[in-house]
Each structure stands twice: as C-alpha cells, then as structure tokens.
Chains A and B, each alone.
Chain A
C-alpha cells in the first residue's frame, strides 16, 4: 500500500522527538509528524511519548490537538498530529499584534473548553502554559503537549509534585503536595488569563523558592483560615506572610477588565485547591455571558501588523 503522508522539512526538535512538517496526500492537508527518538533514552521509550499517545487516543475535541495516526518507520515511532502553525506565547509576546478584550475572552473560552474536555475524561494535563496552547490556521486554540498528562489518580495514589512549568505551578505543587486534582490545571489557566491581559508573565519566579515568594506576594500567603491544614506542609513555616490583594489593588493591576473577569480570575487563582473553581464553574461564569461577546476565532488577526 502507498502511504498517505509525505514527510518534509524539520520544524522543531524537543527532548524526545523531532517534528517534521508533512502533507496528507489525499487532501494536501498540512500535518505535523512527531518522530519519537526511541533509542536514545536510558529507560527506553520515553514516558512523555507514551503519555502523549495514551491520552490523545482518548480525547477528541475541537480544542484539543488531534492525533491522526501512528506509524513505525525505519524502526522509529511516528505520531501524525494536526499541523498548528502558531501558539499563544508567540502571540502574547509579539507586541505588534494588537488584540481586544473580546479576543482574550475567545481564547480563554476555547482553552477552558479544551481543558474541561480533558477533565471530564479523567485526564490531568499538568503542563498548561501559553506555549502549549497552539493555534490553528482558523484561529482555534488547541491544548497540546500531553507529555506530562496522567489519569486522575485514585485517592491514595502518590503523585510527583514536580509537574507544570514553574510560572504556572499551583500553590499545592509549590508546597510539594503528593496528591492533587484537576485544580492544578485550572490554576495554570488562571495565570495564562492574567498573562493575556498583562502581556507579560504574571508570576515569573526565578527558581522554585522564588516562585513561592512571587506567587504569595502577588496573591497573598494562604492561611489556616482559608486553607485548613496548609501549615502542615513542611515548607510553610519558612514563608513570609503576605496579605491577599484588595479588590482595588486587583483593579489597578488589571485595568479595564470587568468585575466578572476579576471574579473569574480570582476563582481560578483561589489558593485552596478545594475552593478553586472547576472548569464547569469557569465556563458558566458571568464573564462569558456579558458583553463583549467572544470574538469569532477566524476573525482574530494574529499576524504582525
């Protein structure tokens, strides 16, 4: 049988894979081929590759990257993914791209829909950041890179807290929690929301210790009152206690955003993971019901002016 894909130029290289641009022969559609480097790891096939296939096979949603195919070639494992030429990090950083509150609302809505789909299929993403929110040629945001994802753990299962890129890491992970939930992803989306509004990273810690300092200085150090048992974490006693920001302070930080936008952000950046909003609460928030309506993704111009 003749294959239906052609592999063209190399477009990127990560720790465990090389990404090529390709074409699907049947409809000349651009695709991305991720060639997994199988022989170069001391533990065999990399966990990230396994997780990527495992979870993308289970998930099918307009706001989640699509795994189209898997094939072995020259004894290398290849994943065929839809080709997504841009990502949110590039757009946020490119100051020549101008976007509106309605555009931000549209991006946040698409992100939350993608993350909600993961959660309702019992998958934690654990590495949400602008760089992993890819943008299709039609302007659709797609959650990508499931290399750190995992199924929702059983109640007594012990997990590693060394997940999520530092700036987007939830407080329970900063404290080294051995068990956590969907709330870690919601926190990351909250930080991404703030970054879209500010156009600079919201909580840019220099290292793991500084990340705690930066996070709690900006959002207040959690206390036993709002997060019972938080002081049981070993690193808690070394913390400087900062008060949470007042509503006025938040308004000054995020000028020109509506009250419901601030409510949503506060819900997503709730210190206590038990009280943090779920993706359903986020999607049902007043922010998405008030004007301006989210932009039509295809109408958002993300190319430099």
Chain B
C-alpha cells in the first residue's frame, strides 16, 4: 500500500530582523501592551521555576527563546500563556540536556500559579496540553535544533572573558546584563555568542574599561552589524525601560550608581546607531513566511534547513508543472 501527501514546505529561518518580527507578530499579537506586560510576568514565572528546579541559566534562555518564537506564528492568548511557558520549559530542559520529569515541572508550574486541588486528573489534563504545544513550538522553530544547542549567552561571556583576559568584574556585570537581555526580542534576532559579546561591550563601557572586543574577535562585516544591533538594542532598552531592568537592583558594589542618563551618555558616545539592514516595508510585507499564519489544518508540513533543498523543490515543481 502506498500513500502520497499534500504538503507545505518551510525553510528554517532562526533569526529575523526587528521589522520581520513585527510583521509576524501583526498576525499573532493583537494587543501589544498586553503581550509585553505578560512577557515580563512570564520571564519572572520561568525564572522562579528554573530557580526552584535548580536549572541553569541556559535552560531559562532556551525556554524564553521558545516562548518568543512560538508567538511569532501562534496566536497570543493571555489565558494560555502560562501553559505555553511551561511547555517551553519542558522542551527547553530537553534541548539543554538538563532533563526534568514533566510531572515535576507541571506540578510546580501549577503550584506557582496558586492552583488549588492539583490532583492527578488536573495534572494529566495539563500535561496533555503541554505536550500538544511542545510540537507547535518545535514547528515554529522549523525543527531547527542548531539554535540553543552548543551556544548559550552565559557560557560565552565566560569563554570570551577567559580568551581575551577580561577582568572578572566585567564578566560579572555582563552576566547580569544578559539576564535583562532576555526581556528583549534579541534572542530572535542575533545568535547568542553575539549577545555575549554585546553584553561584554556594554559592561566595559559601564565600568569605564578600555575595550576592543570587536577587533579582538575576528569578524567580518556581518558580525560587526550583528554586534551593533545587539549593543544598541541593549542600550536602548536601558534608556526606554530603565524601571524594568534588573541591573539597577543587582548592581555590584564596584559599579558606580547608574541611571538612564548614564546610558544616554553611553549612546551619545557610541557613534551613529548601526545594526542589521532592514528590508523595505513592502518586501517584509510580501514575505509569505511572515505574513501567513501557520496552517495546522494542512496535514503534512515539511521543514528544511537548507536553501539548496528548497531550490531543488522549486526546480522539481517547475519540471513537473505542478
């Protein structure tokens, strides 16, 4: 017996520009203020979960990447976001090789949300929902496991710190800044080693230490644009949302007091704001990958990592005239 399938084909695009993110979110996030407010609560919730489960920062970072990625292609619903977040953590534990039983994560998740009567029936229903979302998360990532695999921000802060013989205080400050970074969309925009470099650059500036990370780190122009994108995103966050940052409340004693003004001065001294080149609005708007909501009603959905496979498929379609 043989069967043939009706298919949709997606090429993995693990990183998107700010405009592309906004374009995708247009379909999925109808109330941006509500999304942003909830996102901060979710980060706090996931942080509490990871702390209580004794999980490392890389697991938290992976879960937050999944949460943000999920909402690029799936509708944001306020009543569902804690369930999505729990599912992201379950999957994050698997991806970061810090495995925890789903039972343990789900029970704690329900308990942290002050749910009463957590019996086996409630737990099973919750787990069922979690596992359904798990696959949707992976689909929104295009089953691309290359992200969040070997490279995590905190690991790389210390690796770069060691390689370039940076002062321990610089690394510590960068590590605290890296926690604030999780509140931005930056994980969706640039790879984690670039974020690590950008946090180290901000830390050097804050501590008024000379830094030439960009010239030490052998990079091409693309890397420079990526670092600038990350660097200015971080500085802008501290300028635009200083009250939301954790840095001000966890300032090590060796850093002079900070304020918005301090970051404004940093920005003024950093030269013209540069970063990733955005496509025109019409180009972004005509990108079907971003414009169309995911069709889970299409029964077969295929995910590829290579543009070559995509090209081969297009050629095959032309030849067959389909």
Q: Which A residues fall within an 8 A CB radius of B?
A: 1-9, 23, 25-26, 38-39, 42-45, 47, 50, 53-54, 57-58, 69-75, 77, 122, 150-151, 154
Contacts and interface: CB of A to CB of B under 8 A. Distances in A.
A42 B90 CA distance: 12
B302 A3 contact: yes
Interface residues of B, number: 45
Given A39-B131, A42-B103, A1 B8 contact: yes
Given A39-B131, A42-B102, A42-B103, A74 B302 contact: no
Contacts of B102: 42-44
Nearest to A160: B99
Chain B at the A interface: mostly helix, strand, loop or mixed? mixed
B265 to A, nearest CB: 38
B101 A53 contact: no
Interface of B: 1-9, 90-91, 94-95, 97, 99, 101-103, 127, 130-131, 134-135, 138-139, 143-146, 149-150, 155, 299-305, 309, 313, 316-317, 320, 322
A71 B1 contact: no
Given A39-B131, A43-B101, A151-B149, A2 B138 contact: no
A157 to B, nearest CB: 8
Nearest to A75: B135
B1 A8 contact: yes
A74 B298 CA distance: 9
Contacts of A9: 1
B303 to A, nearest CB: 5
Contacts of A25: 4
Given A42-B103, A44-B131, A71-B303, A54 B6 contact: no
A122 B150 contact: yes
Given A58-B146, A70-B302, A71-B302, A38 B97 contact: no
A3 B6 contact: yes
B163 to A, nearest CB: 15
Given A3-B7, A53-B145, A54-B95, A73 B299 contact: yes
A44 to B, nearest CB: 4
Contacts of B300: 3, 71-74
Contact of B130 (A39, A44, A71, A74): A44
